Chains A and B, each alone.
Chain A
Amino acid sequence: MPTRRPLARIGVTSLAVLASFSIACSPLAEGAENSTTGSAMKDGLHQLTTDAGFPAALGSIRDSNGKTRDYVSGYGDLKDKTKVPVDGQVRIASASKMFTSTVVLQLVGEGRISLDAPVEQYLPGLVRGDGIDGRDITVHQLLQHTSGLPDYTQIALDFLKIQHTYMEPRELLDIALAQKAVFAPGTSWRYSNTNYILLGLITQKVTGRPIGEEITQRVIKRADLRHTYWPGVGEQKIRDDHPHAYTSADDTHPHVDITDMDPSWGWSAGQMVSTPSDVNKFLAALMGGTLLKPAQLDQMKSAIDAPGFPPNWQYGLGLMKITLSCGDVVYGHGGDIPGTETRDAITADGTAVTISVTALPTQKQGESQPMPVDKVLDDVLCS
């Protein structure tokens, strides 16, 4: 089967494509202790790096007391067959949306942004297009993906051509605004990175500071996330210990190392770097009320149906409500970017789990229900 060229997309469903890996053997998942959840994690990561063919899988479990266990499986670098750095840094892609949403909702709590205000109030005259009018789209609709704005990542950008390209946030918006509205604001649901680019621009307008600085001050520092950062302009490398990230160029080049990339096309919709344990720590801080006032946290969790996403997923404000196979309801927001897929969620009792793999699922895996990483997340959380 011919392999499609990977597309530059950031999402929470697997949109890019990867040829199957055929790694003869893979080290067993390493973990600190035996427990039901720990065993489920080890088995899951092992399966992901063997049968499912991902180069590496990293997992972290944080219990309700904050105790953390980290797990890895596979190879950090396929060329040298190195171990996967435990709790290594990865590009968390759309999981960044939780951070952007948290900042916006903090500003709502401070009375500086109104959820029901039109985008126009903060970015006058900026949002105009075919069926698109910033006077008719609210901040709430951006946060919940009900704006009907086209997704700039759906324009077929060949990822390998823009891997090292720096893009201004406004260029991303230009791409989106050249397309027609998908539906009238508030009439349906459709995931669009454009919404979160606009939220970044609104935050900058309201605070007068760069969105990366606001995320750093208001979320990363407040939640004491020591391995999480907003890459600087032009920064293409991952700073600390990290596994390599891979994509397929074609059938004969199934494992192209794309660890170094310019993530500017993700910006406030998906630019951040973090680790599995830091994502858990963030989720715990968020749900523990460290970051948001109760009213805004309630708004964030208030979720609606998300047609096109798996049926057990609903979408709040930069946060998904996921109903597990065992019936439990958890909250989180995964991310997919060429080279990395992340899934994360926290239970009502405060157990948080994050899993990252260092390639996107194949087309076939992406169409399966559940998708491989989602299945492991479900297995661990239900164990």
Chain B
Amino acid sequence: MRTNAFLTAGLTVLALTTGLTGIQAQATPAKKDTVQQTLDALVSDDDFPGTLAAVRDTRGRTRDYTAGVSDLDSGDRVPVNGRVRIASNTKMFTATVVLQLVGEGKISLDAPVDTYLPGLLRGDGIDGREITVRHLLQHTSGLVDYDDKFLAGGYPAVQHRHFEPRELVDAVLAEKALWAPGTKFSYSNANYVLAGLIVQKVTGRPIGEEITRRVIRKLGLRDTYWPALGDQTIHGPHPHGYFPTGAEPADVTEQDPSMGWAAGQLVGTPRDLNTFMTALLDGKLLKPAQLAEMQKTVPAPDFDLTGDATYGLGLGTFKLSCGGVAWTHGGDAPGYVTRNAVTENGKAATVVVTSNAASLEAAQDLEKALDTALCR
């Protein structure tokens, strides 16, 4: 779930100095269990317009939660299990497809990127003959991220902009590498854009199609989809997403998600994310050898706000207050921040807020809400 300062499992690292104002949010009347109270507090204390969550117990039974409003103008309620931009959670899907292809003998984890994308990765301290597929999936390639570069002019400037995947790669190749491949963890969306390009090269099919066929359909995730090229809307019931900018939060529900691509383009729901994480850890998507590779982690102190995180291949760890760790990713899109994890014994939770955090405390409270959902 990666957080640099207080945001960002992915798509955005944005300096947020303005708090949300004018929120008429009211907690949805519901049974006041601990999770509901936590969600209510995210709205009342942390100024998130809306929040939605799903908690799936070890027997597969799910409880849904919402709080706040879906639309700051109308005051409509947040749809139960509404669809949201799951952002960097997409990386779990991309990593799963890559690891399936590893299991099929079509990709080798320790092969250099050059094997699949010859000549593409060259730059200052960057050489595709030295960066392996594993380095990409583990965020140890030493490649910088492209977010800051494209967001330098503010999010509104790129909200509706289409990016070619290769444009995202170009941006990173123009910057010096952070360090030699394999040295240490540094989160970069470029790693997963490259993983997407590798999948396309190996399968001959678009990454969105491979994710759809190999993961979404395989698990029957009916509320999860790869947005078509240029599609800026969210299909089906969904809360509006807000971006704290200026005096009024901006409604950023409609946006071009191509800046995320294989690193963050998917739309999904809390329930579907729980189903996916549970199935993944149950071995329903990967062979044991590849699942084990996915769970081999390196220290990733800036992946979350606790500083205790580690990161495997498209999967991180989240230290629980009740002991042990859960497997997680999380994602930050403009307007939607998702925190989600599954415990070793198969309990899964996903909590979404419909605005980027306006303060460090708010971001920490969201992480705590996930902890509450898994530990209570």
Pairwise interchain contact A208-B160, C-beta atoms closer than 8 A: yes
Is B218 positioned at the interface, with any CB of A under 8 Å from its CB?
A: no
Docked Cα-Cα span, A204 to B166, in Å, equals: 13
| With known contacts A168-B166, A170-B164, A170-B166, A210–B230 Cβ distance under 8 A | yes
Is B122 positioned at the interface, with any CB of A under 8 Å from its CB?
A: no
Which partner residue on chain B sits nearest A205 by CB separation?
B167
Q: How far is the CB of B164 from chain A (nearest CB, A)?
A: 6
**Prevailing SS type, chain A contact patch:** loop
Q: How far is the CB of B288 from chain A (nearest CB, A)?
A: 31
Pairwise interchain contact A233-B162, C-beta atoms closer than 8 A: no
Pairwise interchain contact A212-B165, C-beta atoms closer than 8 A: no
Pairwise interchain contact B204-A212, C-beta atoms closer than 8 A: no
Pairwise interchain contact B208-A168, C-beta atoms closer than 8 A: no
Docked Cα-Cα span, A126 to B164, in Å, equals: 13
Which partner residue on chain B sits nearest A165 by CB separation?
B204
Which partner residue on chain B sits nearest A170 by CB separation?
B166
Chain A 161-200 near chain B by CB (<8 Å), digits 1 or 0: 0101110111000000000000000000000000000000
Pairwise interchain contact B162-A168, C-beta atoms closer than 8 A: no
| With known contacts A164-B204, A213-B230, A234–B165 Cβ distance under 8 A | no
Is B228 positioned at the interface, with any CB of A under 8 Å from its CB?
A: yes
Is B106 positioned at the interface, with any CB of A under 8 Å from its CB?
A: no
Docked Cα-Cα span, A209 to B204, in Å, equals: 25
| With known contacts A233-B206, A234-B206, A234-B208, A168–B230 Cβ distance under 8 A | no
Pairwise interchain contact A166-B206, C-beta atoms closer than 8 A: yes
Residues on the B chain within 8 Å of A210, using CB: 162, 229-230
Which partner residue on chain B sits nearest A209 by CB separation?
B162
Which 4 A-B pairs rank lowest in CB-CB distance, beginning with the nearest? Answer: A170-B166, A165-B204, A208-B161, A234-B206
Q: How far is the CB of A126 from chain B (nearest CB, A)?
A: 8
Interface residues of A in 223-253 (CB under 8 A from B): 232-234
17 A-B contacts, Cβ less than 8 Å apart?
A165-B204, A166-B200, A169-B164, A170-B164, A170-B165, A201-B164, A204-B164, A208-B162, A209-B160, A209-B256, A210-B229, A210-B230, A212-B230, A213-B230, A233-B206, A233-B208, A233-B209
Residues on the B chain within 8 Å of A170, using CB: 164-166
Interface residues of B in 144-162 (CB under 8 A from A): 160-162
Docked Cα-Cα span, A168 to B200, in Å, equals: 9
Residues on the A chain within 8 Å of B197, using CB: 168
Q: How far is the CB of A339 from chain B (nearest CB, A)?
A: 19
Is B287 positioned at the interface, with any CB of A under 8 Å from its CB?
A: no
Q: How many residue pairs bridge A and B at CB < 8 Å?
A: 50
**Prevailing SS type, chain B contact patch:** loop
Q: How far is the CB of B100 from chain A (nearest CB, A)?
A: 18
Residues on the A chain within 8 Å of B228, using CB: 232-233
Docked Cα-Cα span, A168 to B166, in Å, equals: 9
Is B284 positioned at the interface, with any CB of A under 8 Å from its CB?
A: no
Docked Cα-Cα span, A169 to B256, in Å, equals: 19
Chain B 167-207 near chain A by CB (<8 Å), digits 1 or 0: 00010000000000000000000000000010010001110
* Given A209-B162, A234-B206, 20 more pairs with CB closer than 8 A: A162-B204, A164-B204, A164-B205, A165-B204, A166-B200, A166-B209, A201-B164, A204-B164, A209-B256, A213-B162, A213-B229, A213-B230, A232-B228, A233-B206, A233-B208, A233-B209, A233-B228, A233-B229, A234-B205, A234-B208
Pairwise interchain contact A234-B230, C-beta atoms closer than 8 A: no
Docked Cα-Cα span, A269 to B162, in Å, equals: 19
Q: With a 10 A CB-CB cut-off, give which of A166, A212, A213 has the most chain B CB atoms.
A: A166
Chain A 343-368 near chain B by CB (<8 Å), digits 1 or 0: 00000000000000000000000000
Residues on the B chain within 8 Å of A164, using CB: 204-205
| With known contacts A166-B204, A170-B166, A233-B206, A212–B160 Cβ distance under 8 A | no
| With known contacts A166-B200, A166-B205, A212–B164 Cβ distance under 8 A | no
Residues on the B chain within 8 Å of A212, using CB: 229-230
Residues on the B chain within 8 Å of A208, using CB: 160-162
Residues on the A chain within 8 Å of B164, using CB: 168-170, 201, 204
Which partner residue on chain A sits nearest B174 by CB separation?
A125
Interface residues of A in 312-350 (CB under 8 A from B): none
Residues on the B chain within 8 Å of A165, using CB: 204-205
Docked Cα-Cα span, A135 to B85, in Å, equals: 40
Which partner residue on chain B sits nearest A216 by CB separation?
B230
Which partner residue on chain B sits nearest A161 by CB separation?
B204
Residues on the A chain within 8 Å of B170, using CB: 126
Q: How far is the CB of B169 from chain A (nearest CB, A)?
A: 9
Docked Cα-Cα span, A237 to B285, in Å, equals: 29
Interface residues of B in 225-279 (CB under 8 A from A): 228-230, 256
Q: How far is the CB of A36 from chain B (nearest CB, A)?
A: 45
Q: With a 10 A CB-CB cut-off, give which of A126, A201, A213, A233 has the most chain B CB atoms.
A: A233
Which partner residue on chain A sits nearest B209 by CB separation?
A234
| With known contacts A168-B165, A168-B166, A168-B197, A232–B160 Cβ distance under 8 A | no
Docked Cα-Cα span, A210 to B229, in Å, equals: 7
Residues on the A chain within 8 Å of B165, using CB: 168, 170
Which partner residue on chain A sits nearest B164 by CB separation?
A170
Docked Cα-Cα span, A169 to B197, in Å, equals: 12
Docked Cα-Cα span, A201 to B208, in Å, equals: 21
Residues on the A chain within 8 Å of B204, using CB: 162, 164-166
Pairwise interchain contact A204-B162, C-beta atoms closer than 8 A: yes
Q: How far is the CB of B150 from chain A (nearest CB, A)?
A: 12
Docked Cα-Cα span, A212 to B162, in Å, equals: 11
Which partner residue on chain A sits nearest B118 by CB separation?
A174
Residues on the A chain within 8 Å of B160, using CB: 208-209
Docked Cα-Cα span, A72 to B197, in Å, equals: 42
Q: How far is the CB of B339 from chain A (nearest CB, A)?
A: 30
Residues on the B chain within 8 Å of A201, using CB: 164
Q: How far is the CB of B263 from chain A (nearest CB, A)?
A: 16
| With known contacts A168-B166, A169-B164, A204-B164, A209–B200 Cβ distance under 8 A | no
Residues on the B chain within 8 Å of A168, using CB: 164-166, 197, 200
Q: How far is the CB of A199 from chain B (nearest CB, A)?
A: 14
Docked Cα-Cα span, A169 to B167, in Å, equals: 11
